[in-house]
């Protein structure tokens, strides 16, 4: 039996942090569209050149492009048992495309974990965020400092700040989230798969609740 889990919430809610923990606990691939796009930007591929324009503005990359990279990722053999999706779907069209793709594999979204975090906490989180250039692990100056300044605890990679975490861009991302992604939460709520978790607690406490939610899945 496969296991398909979505992690949802505003930018900076802790999706990457918690999706990583779920993926570890359930031995599933962690598929983060933001990470896939950042990697493409870094490698300066045609996809990266296209995505960069939207990312720098704090806007969504068009659905056709985003759906295509997720479908390609789902084709890979490690995704056959399921995936933990982080940052996808962010629009209705993406949610519908995901349903279709999973249905074609006799699968469906089993849990949509929604990390509920208020606006002020979000802005504090993104302003202190540092990401590993190599493995994309997330650190925070106050809430999750690395053991060695500027270096990733997991792989020793160099930590860098995201240009879209600048205050103005982060605020734009939050507005885009409220306009386009928040309605998708209701879509999963109506289907009875939404699992809301209070994301406004220390990382370990959020993790305990999130892992308890997904522990019920077989
Ligand atoms: P998202 O993937 O939703 O954008 P991240 O997982 O990258 O969010 O987390 C955003 C920032 O907040 C990171 O710097 C991370 O270390 C930090 N963070 C994540 N969860 C919490 C939490 N529960 N409390 C405080 N800081 C957190
Ligand atoms: P994230 O790392 O999830 O915060 O995503 C960073 C940026 O990548 C977003 O602000 C968007 O520009 C783009 N992006 C990531 N996921 C998606 C998605 N599902 N749909 C459209 N754009 C996305």
Q: Which ligand is nearest to the CA of 173?
A: 2
Site to probe by mutation for ligand 1, drawn from 136, 144, 165, 174 as the one with most ligand atoms within 8 Å of Cβ, is 144
Q: Which ligand is nearest to the CA of 51?
A: 2
Task: Write out the catalytic residue numbers.
Answer: 15, 90, 129, 162, 173
* Burial class (CB within 10 angstroms; exposed 0-12, middle 13-18, buried 19+) of 148: exposed
- List CB contacts of 65: < 8 A, sequence separation 6 or more: 47, 50, 51
Instruction: Output the CA–CA distances (angstroms, integers) from residue 87 to 16, 107, 146, 147, 166, in the order listed.
Output: 8, 19, 24, 27, 19
What is the mean pLDDT for each group of 10 consecutive residues in the chain (218 residues)?
A: 93 98 96 96 95 97 97 97 97 98 96 96 95 94 97 97 94 97 96 96 98 86
C-alpha 141, offset from chain centre: 20
- List CB contacts of 113: < 8 A, sequence separation 6 or more: 5, 6, 7, 8, 18, 22, 195, 197, 210, 213, 214
Per-residue confidence (pLDDT) for residue 216, from 0 to 100: 80
Cα 39 to ligand 2 centre (Å): 12
16 CB near ligand 1 (under 6 Å):
yes
Per-residue confidence (pLDDT) for residue 204, from 0 to 100: 98
139 CB near ligand 1 (under 6 Å):
yes
pTM for this entry: 0.96
Give yes or no for a contact between 161 and 129, defined as CB atoms under 8 angstroms apart. yes
12 CB near ligand 1 (under 6 Å):
yes
Cα 66 to ligand 2 centre (Å): 9
Position in ligand 2 atom list of the atom nearest CA 57: 12
Position in ligand 2 atom list of the atom nearest CA 89: 19
* Structure tokens given for 149: 């300044």
144 CB near ligand 1 (under 6 Å):
yes
CA distance 80 to 144: 32
Per-residue confidence (pLDDT) for residue 218, from 0 to 100: 66
């Amino acid at each position: 039996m496969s296991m398909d889990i979505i992690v949802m919430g505003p930018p900076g809610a802790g999706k990457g942090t918690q999706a990583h923990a779920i993926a570890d606990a359930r031995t599933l691939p962690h598929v983060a569209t933001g990470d896939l796009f950042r990697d493409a930007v870094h490698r300066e591929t045609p996809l990266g050149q296209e995505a960069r324009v939207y990312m720098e503005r704090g806007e969504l990359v068009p659905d056709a492009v985003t759906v295509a990279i997720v479908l390609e990722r789902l084709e890979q053999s490690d995704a056959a048992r399921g995936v933990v999706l982080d940052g996808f779907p962010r629009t209705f069209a993406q949610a519908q495309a995901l349903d279709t793709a999973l249905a074609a594999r006799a699968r469906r979204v089993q849990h949509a974990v929604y990390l509920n975090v208020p606006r002020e906490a979000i802005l504090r989180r993104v302003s202190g965020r540092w990401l590993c250039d190599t493995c994309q692990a997330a650190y925070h100056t106050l809430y999750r400092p690395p053991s060695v300044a500027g270096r990733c605890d997991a792989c020793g990679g160099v930590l860098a700040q995201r240009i879209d975490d600048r205050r103005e861009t982060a605020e734009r991302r939050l507005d885009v989230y409220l306009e386009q992604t928040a309605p998708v939460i209701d879509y999963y709520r109506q289907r009875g798969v939404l699992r809301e978790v209070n994301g406004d607690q220390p990382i370990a406490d959020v993790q305990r609740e999130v892992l308890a939610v997904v522990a019920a899945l077989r």
